[in-house]
Amino acid sequence: MPVQNALTRKDGRSQLASPPSVQLGRSFEPIGAPTAFARNEEVFGEGEPAEYLYKVISGGVRTYNSLDDGRRQIAAFYLPGDIFGLEARKFHSVTAEAITRSMLHAVKKTKLMSRPSGDLMMTHLLLDLTTQELHRTQAHILLLLRSAEERVVGFLLEIAKREACKREFDLRMSRQDIADYLGLTIETVSRTLTRLENAAVISMQTSRHIVLRYRPALHRLNS
């Protein structure tokens, strides 16, 4: 059942005018204490009890699994406004670390469910957040099936969509983070970015500052 149909006011207007992550994020403010995390500091570890949800206030977070050979596969990046930590089971399936100095709100799941606003709305919001996570995972899997250039271009377009300024932005994550997210080597990521810059579709004022100069070409490369 769509959330909008299940939660409708008497005047016929939806109670969920904002995206589910925004609605759920607002629930963090009164009851979640903001906590600072240093760059590379662990938020939670794989196998630890999944008792809390987290909202990124500033900075960013990566989640990843450690592989048997010592490498890591980054599963997702969470940027300001994003919520993470939701698990289908009682324990975390990934490790979460701050990718830069970050501020996070943490709130216990049981506190969210016991809020006076009622369990029904919170249940639907958590369900919608679960759906978002599934879509995020599916999109990542499809990205990993593409060529190296398509992966890098797809990643840049994804980050641009999530940043406030969609034409230029500072990457919060390192080249190694990007490589581990895309299943590439850091050398391949760097070479691909250089090729895109030489083709004048992007420019890099610094190693982290990206300007999307010609989006139609990027979309063609990503199609």
- The pLDDT of residue 79 is 95
- At residue 205 the predicted structure's pLDDT band, cuts being 50, 70 and 90, is confident
CA dist., res. 217 & res. 223, Å (int): 10
24-36 average pLDDT score? 67
Are 88 and 65 contained in the same domain? yes
Report pLDDT digits (tens) over 48-66: 999 999 999 999 999 999 9
CATH number at residue 154: 1.10.10.10
- The pLDDT of residue 60 is 96
Domain of 70, in residue numbers? 3-143
Report pLDDT digits (tens) over 129-170: 888 899 999 999 999 999 999 999 999 999 999 987 788 999
Report pLDDT digits (tens) over 76-121: 999 999 999 988 889 999 999 999 999 999 988 877 766 665 566 6
- E-state strands within 79-173: 83-84, 95-98, 102-108, 168-170
Query: What predicted TM-score, i.e. pTM, was given to this entire model?
Result: 0.83
Among residues 108, 143, 178, which one ends one of the domains?
143
Among residues 103, 122, 143, which one ends one of the domains?
143
